[in-house]
Structure 1
């Protein structure tokens, strides 16, 4: 799950991930905690940036099919 992955990251790694997906740490924190739903583009970028650790299918099962 995204929240588990998010919690495992250091502050520096969170910043690097946010930069890699063209987002903000605060927004990614909200997505990880379920306060916001990742957009389709963000879900794809997170999937690619983490080499599938953050699964786009789990972030957006309404759009991505397995």
Structure 2
């Protein structure tokens, strides 16, 4: 089985939903959840597309 939704909520409570990290000479943008899950939440698709198309504009210092 998996972790219950209540337990999952407790685990991620107070944490960031989007994190920027460094990998080699680039950056990795990590989401806590799938922003394009079944195209259900339309607002999160914008977050994903911004990460894809404008990720290179994020300062390298943001990942430190």
> TM over 0.5, yes or no?
no
TM-score (norm 2): 0.27
Greater helix share, 1 or 2?
Answer: 1
TM-score (norm 1): 0.27
